[in-house]
Amino acid sequence: MPAHDAPAPEPPGGILAQLRADHAHVRALFHAFAMLDREEEAERERVVDDLCDALAMHALLEDELFYPVLRAAVDDKLLEDAALEHDSMRELVEQLESLFPDDAYFDVSVAVLADEVERHVAFEENLLFPALARSGADQLALGLRLHARRAELETSLLEQPPAIDGCEPRGLLHGATGRLRERRSRPR
């Protein structure tokens, strides 16, 4: 099929559909991790890195686009609780980014993060998503904004970090917040 005859890409959907898809993706990553043997260290590390990146991106997008719209629709206490849960999750993600699969607290940290994420997802899907649906907010417009912001963040993550003193940096990735973050760097 010629390029000009290619079907147009599917629209991203409303914000709630995209956030539910993120939740499903994160659950799938936790499941993939649980299915790996302890001896599969490289794959366990890759899955946890993907999980940490997905959670950081999701939390940032919610903080920037989802929660501000909810301010008029829900009690401030609910949003404060959600913000505290995001902060707790970010701390666990930072801890995991410094651990290796053979470290004593690696599996425990993943399990604690899984529990916190599952509780937070239930909170959002059972309380906050219905509140947004009732609010009359334009979910499709919010979904388009979320999609565009995600693309912008993903593009910035793919950019090479600048050289430091003429040497290419190793073990550094752009975090979703725009700052550089150190990744596991001990020799294998």
| Each residue's pLDDT tens digit, 37-83 | 999 999 999 999 999 999 999 999 999 999 999 998 898 899 999 99
Is position 89 within any domain? yes
Is position 2 within any domain? no
- Domain that residue 111 falls in: 13-154+172-182
Is position 22 within any domain? yes
User: Residues near 178 by Cβ (< 8 Å), separated by ≥ 6?
Assistant: 156
The total domain count for the chain is: 1
Is position 1 within any domain? no
Is position 72 within any domain? yes
Is position 68 within any domain? yes
Do 147 and 12 meet the contact criterion of CB atoms below 8 Å apart?
Answer: yes
pLDDT over 60 (residue 96): yes
Is position 82 within any domain? yes
Percent of the chain, pLDDT > 90? 69
pLDDT classification of 120: cutoffs 50, 70, 90: very high
What are the backbone dihedrals phi and psi of residue 116, each rounded to the nearest 5 degrees, phi first? -65, -40
Is position 163 within any domain? no
